[in-house]
Amino acid sequence: GENGFLVAADISARRHRRTVANFAAAGMAARSGLVVADARRPQFRHACAGVVLLDVPCTNTAVFRRRPDALWRFTEQRLTELVQCQRELLDAAAPLVRTDGGLIYSTCSLESEENEQQVGAFLQRHPEYELVRQESLLPTAMHDGAYAALLRRR
């Protein structure tokens, strides 16, 4: 809402600079804080957030129209490493969300291991969460693909 405060964290200082510029251009600088940090080890107190958005590192298989190099970089080993990183990010974010708050998990991947299977495994590990909605968008000539799941903490 109007009185909310947004905290954005990214492990990459380069992407962080781009986010700072975007927030300033949108007039959000006064209502936001930006930090360079590893979200697998968040430095925030438990139940501090109404909503957490995790736009996780992924194989990028849904953005090959714009980034064809993603298909060349795809390997089973890379998929396994990314799935583990995503799991760690989800588990670290889970305690940050308040009761009745939301956790949004997002990828630009078509791989079930990174999407539906990842969310299903998270729900098994975290029964305090429920799936509200998930959606996959397949890429077309007009747009990239994506996956997102909205989870609610009970």
Place of tokens 């947004």: 6
- For 41, the token pair is 């080890």
Among 48, 58, 85, 108, the one annotated catalytic? 108
108 a catalytic residue: yes
Determine the distance from the C-alpha atom of residue 114 to the mean position of all C-alpha atoms in its chain, rounded to a whole number.
11
Q: Are 96 and 47 contacting, i.e. CB atoms less than 8 angstroms apart?
A: yes
Q: Are 62 and 109 contacting, i.e. CB atoms less than 8 angstroms apart?
A: yes
Query: What are the residues whose beta carbons fall under 8 Å from the beta carbon of 148, sequence distance 6 or more?
Result: 104, 105, 106, 107, 134, 135
Query: What are the residues whose beta carbons fall under 8 Å from the beta carbon of 133, sequence distance 6 or more?
Result: 149, 150
Question: Pick from 152, 37, 49: which is nearest to 104 by CA?
Answer: 152
Q: Which residues participate in catalysis according to the annotation?
A: 108
